[in-house]
């Protein structure tokens, strides 16, 4: 039993973006837990002001190197809402497919490369691969299938080039579709294995929590209504009225509460609130594991991600097998002075972009709510509880448990740090 | 002997690192006999910066810590390759260099509080750079070509 512990991790590895952690325990009581986002700000909130509406989607997607498609579409949706643009059915389907591709490769990266080493008690996927070369092969195959889906539909996986305000600049070719279909079908079994691994993992940390997610029909991540596990239902454009920004003086990121309470967003929240909308084949083949939800075990966030990969594969296969793509141009439109709001489910949770445009279509100001910033307060509370429950462990073990807990959230500190004006008082 | 390579991120969105992981989807099994990943924080615990043959660095130098890190990397590596637009020419991670007075005033406190430098620098403004892979994120084919040339040259000697 340890009375006093000081933990100071300069940089937590295997997370997207940089963060540090400082913990002080005295006489068996946690005095503080400081998750210090050390990702250096690049001041996008200021940078976006004065830019024209057509410049901002590709500009703002540079916030994040892994979920850029989510930022791109949230921004495009905000522009379209501001100017009253209604896009074609085909555009909606292509956006859905791009989101599915994003989830497959982004969740794939997180599960195999960042979280699996925790489950298997190894330092990296490369170490796991020394004993089990099959798993690393499966990892790369799943990621490659998601990557290809993004490439064929949106141009590329990171900072894609075909998606624009009003539609897509290029329509996929039949040969490419055939190729993607084959790849997606080939990796389905890999994902069932992945679900087994995370479904049977012994990692466990439970805490009664509040969950918030955009609940979408057919689990499409794009359009729907925001719901909370305590029964609140909100239209996308009203989300800002329900969240409270909290300044964290030691961090380069700010944090959020929902109606004054700490909350969790992300795959766990989506499965807890919207699992009925998953694809039918996914529901059939992953039933045993889907039945675990609703869950309060944060490590089930990773199981939820694995189930979402399967859902994205199954949904994409159905669309690609039945939909006939035809040549079409992006919708033309008139700009006007207005505000526009785009909300969607990014891989790590609910993402909100708001812009106010002047009559020339230039941004007067922007406002954003980022998934990782919404989880920040809950992460700190969880770490505090985890430490208090495990004071009998040595510092090294404890540190490892904390890092695994943080990684289970799949935080993205790149995103978390780049928005918001912080006034230090 | 395997070539010791390291991947490092300064101030940026890590899109180039993520893209390297995407390249590995198809190349890992071909390359793993020739490359040893000595540093790659995105996928393994960050150990101290050790001697290496090639360091790949993305991002701009925006803080004092970035500056210390890039100097340390330069000391430890035989070759240093800048990855992507931020590292090579600055944007968009060097946004603040071109802010007007009002925006500069707004961010001043944060800059002071978190140890930012006066402005953002590209890699070649602060250390010697031996090569560049352009793009945002990096041009995959150029990256693959560079790695394959390095492997070929290493095998020749």
State both tokens at B153: 């040259």
- pLDDT tier for residue A7 given thresholds of 50, 70 and 90: confident
Chain B residue with the nearest C-alpha to that of A404: B45
Choose the mutation target among A58, A65, A118, A139 for the interface with B, i.e. most B CBs under 10 Å. A65
CB A90 within 8 A of CB B39: no
Q: Could you tell me how many CB contacts below 8 A there are between chain A and chain B?
A: 126
- pLDDT tens digits for range A346-398: 999 999 999 999 999 999 999 999 999 999 999 999 999 999 999 899 888 88
The answer to whether residue A414 scores a pLDDT higher than 80 is: no
Angle, vertex CA A250, rays to CA A260 and CA A9, nearest 5: 115
State both tokens at A423: 């006034």
Instruction: State whether residue B135 sits within 8 Å of chain A by CB.
Output: no
pLDDT of residue A425: 29
Nearest to B13 among A64, A105, A136 (CB): A64
The predicted model gives A161-175 an average pLDDT of: 97
pLDDT of residue B104: 92
Q: Which residue has the higher pLDDT, A113 or A41?
A: A113
Q: What is the CATH number of the domain that holds B71?
A: 3.40.50.700
Among candidate residues A102, A70, A27, the one with its CA nearest the CA of residue A371: A70
Instruction: Say whether B22 and A16 touch across the interface (CB within 8 A).
Output: no
Instruction: State whether residue A179 sits within 8 Å of chain B by CB.
Output: no
- pLDDT tier for residue A270 given thresholds of 50, 70 and 90: very high
Distance CA A158, CA B23 (A): 12
**Is 2.40.30.130 the CATH number for A44-418?**
no
CB A108 within 8 A of CB A312: no
pLDDT of residue A2: 58
The predicted model gives B119-131 an average pLDDT of: 98
The answer to whether residue A14 scores a pLDDT higher than 80 is: no
Backbone angles phi, psi at A180, to 5 degrees: -65, -45
Q: Which residues of B76-100 are buried (b: 16+ CB within 10 A; e: fewer)?
A: bbebbbbbbbbbbebbbbbbbeebe
The predicted model gives B129-156 an average pLDDT of: 94
- pLDDT tens digits for range B27-57: 999 999 999 999 998 888 766 899 999 999 9
Length in residues, chain B: 157
Distance CA A110, CA A116 (A): 8
Instruction: Say whether A105 and B63 touch across the interface (CB within 8 A).
Output: no
Sheet containing A5-9: order of strands: A5-9, A19-26, A29-37
- pLDDT tens digits for range B70-114: 999 999 999 999 999 999 999 999 999 999 999 999 899 889 988
The answer to whether residue A74 scores a pLDDT higher than 90 is: yes
pLDDT of residue A416: 65
Residues spanned by the domain of B151: 3-156
The predicted model gives A180-194 an average pLDDT of: 98
The answer to whether residue A338 scores a pLDDT higher than 80 is: yes
The 3-state DSSP class for residue B117 equals: strand
Instruction: State whether residue B21 sits within 8 Å of chain A by CB.
Output: yes
Tell if the pTM clears 0.90, that is, is over it.
yes
Instruction: Say whether B95 and A65 touch across the interface (CB within 8 A).
Output: no
Q: Which residues of B102-128 are buried (b: 16+ CB within 10 A; e: fewer)?
A: ebeebbeebbeebebbeebbbbeebbe
Distance CA A56, CA A49 (A): 10
Contacts of A280 (CB under 8 A, 6+ apart): A314
Among candidate residues A408, A228, A233, A218, the one with its CA nearest the CA of residue A316: A218
The answer to whether residue A312 scores a pLDDT higher than 90 is: yes
Distance CA A144, CA A301 (A): 22
The answer to whether residue A210 scores a pLDDT higher than 50 is: yes
ipTM over 0.95: no
Q: How far apart are the CA of A220 and the nearest CA of chain B, in angstroms?
A: 24
Residue ranges per domain, chain A? 44-418
- pLDDT tier for residue A254 given thresholds of 50, 70 and 90: confident
The 3-state DSSP class for residue A151 equals: helix
Instruction: Say whether B14 and A421 touch across the interface (CB within 8 A).
Output: no
Distance CA A28, CA A340 (A): 50
pLDDT of residue A417: 62
Chain A residue with the nearest C-alpha to that of B24: A140
The answer to whether residue A1 scores a pLDDT higher than 70 is: no
Distance CA A247, CA B30 (A): 48
Q: Which residues of A touch B12 (CB under 8 A)?
A: 42, 65
CB A68 within 8 A of CB B15: yes
Instruction: State whether residue A125 sits within 8 Å of chain B by CB.
Output: yes
- pLDDT tens digits for range A47-73: 999 999 999 999 999 988 899 999 999
Instruction: Say whether B18 and A158 touch across the interface (CB within 8 A).
Output: yes
pLDDT of residue A140: 96
DSSP A214-238: EE-GGG-SSSSEEEETTS-EE-GGG
Burial of A60 (0-12, 13-18, 19+ CB in 10 A): buried
Q: Which residue has the higher pLDDT, A18 or A315?
A: A315
Chain A residue with the nearest C-alpha to that of B106: A421
The answer to whether residue A419 scores a pLDDT higher than 50 is: no
β-pairing verdict for B35-40 and B3-9: parallel
């Amino acid at each position: 039993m340890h009375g006093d512990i000081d933990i100071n991790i300069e940089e937590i590895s295997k997370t997207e973006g940089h963060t540090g952690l400082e913990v002080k325990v005295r006489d068996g009581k946690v005095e503080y837990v400081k998750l210090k986002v050390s990702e250096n700000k690049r001041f996008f909130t200021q940078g976006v002001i004065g830019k024209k509406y057509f410049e901002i989607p590709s500009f703002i997607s540079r916030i994040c190197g892994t979920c850029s498609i989510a930022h791109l579409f949230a921004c495009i949706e905000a522009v379209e809402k501001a100017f009253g643009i209604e896009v074609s059915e085909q555009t909606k389907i292509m956006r859905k497919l791009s989101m599915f591709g994003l989830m497959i490769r982004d969740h794939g990266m997180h599960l195999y490369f960042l979280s699996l080493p925790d489950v298997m008690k190894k330092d990296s996927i490369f170490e796991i691969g020394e004993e089990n070369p099959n798993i690393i092969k499966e990892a790369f195959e799943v990621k490659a299938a998601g990557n290809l889906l993004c490439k064929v539909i949106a141009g590329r996986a990171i900072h894609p080039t075909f998606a624009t305000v009003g539609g897509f600049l290029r329509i996929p070719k039949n040969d490419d579709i055939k190729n993607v279909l084959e790849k997606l079908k080939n990796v389905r079994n890999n994902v069932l294995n992945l679900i087994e691994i995370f479904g049977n993992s012994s990692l466990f940390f439970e805490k009664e929590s509040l969950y918030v997610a955009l609940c979408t029909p057919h689990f499409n991540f794009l359009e729907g209504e925001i719901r909370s596990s305590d029964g609140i239902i909100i239209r996308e454009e009203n989300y800002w009225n329900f969240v409270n920004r909290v300044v964290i003086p030691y961090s380069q990121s700010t944090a959020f509460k929902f109606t004054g309470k700490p909350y969790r967003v992300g795959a766990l929240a989506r499965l807890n609130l919207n699992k009925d909308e998953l694809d039918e084949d996914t529901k059939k083949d992953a039933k045993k594991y889907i039945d675990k939800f609703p869950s309060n075990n944060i490590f089930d966030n990773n199981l939820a991600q694995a189930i979402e990969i399967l859902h994205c594969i199954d949904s994409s296969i159905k669309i690609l097998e039945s939909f006939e793509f035809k040549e079409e141009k992006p919708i033309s439109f008139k700009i006007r002075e207005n505000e526009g709001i785009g909300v969607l489910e990014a891989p790590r949770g609910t993402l909100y972009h708001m812009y106010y445009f002047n009559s020339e279509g230039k941004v007067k100001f922007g406002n954003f709510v980022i998934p990782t910033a919404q989880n920040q307060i809950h992460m700190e509370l969880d770490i505090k509880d985890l430490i208090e429950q495990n004071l009998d462990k040595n510092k090294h073990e404890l540190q490892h448990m904390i890092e695994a807990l943080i990684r289970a959230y799949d935080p993205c500190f790149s995103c978390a740090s780049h928005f918001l004006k912080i006034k230090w008082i | 002997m395997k070539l010791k390579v390291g991947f490092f991120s300064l101030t940026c969105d890590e899109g180039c690192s993520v893209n390297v992981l995407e390249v590995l989807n198809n190349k890992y099994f071909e390359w793993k006999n020739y490359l040893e990943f000595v540093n790659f924080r995105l996928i393994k615990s960050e150990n101290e910066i050790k001697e290496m043959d090639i360091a790949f660095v993305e991002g701009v130098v925006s803080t004092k810590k970035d500056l210390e890190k890039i100097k340390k990397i330069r000391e430890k590596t035989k070759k240093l390759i800048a990855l992507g637009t931020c590292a090579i020419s600055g944007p968009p991670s060097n946004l603040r260099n071109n802010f007007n007075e009002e925006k500069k005033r707004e961010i001043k406190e944060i800059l002071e509080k978190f140890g930012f430098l006066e402005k953002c620098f590209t890699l070649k403004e602060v250390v010697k750079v031996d090569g560049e892979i352009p793009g945002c994120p990096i041009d995959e084919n150029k990256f693959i070509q560079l790695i394959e040339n390095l492997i070929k040259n290493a095998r020749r000697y």
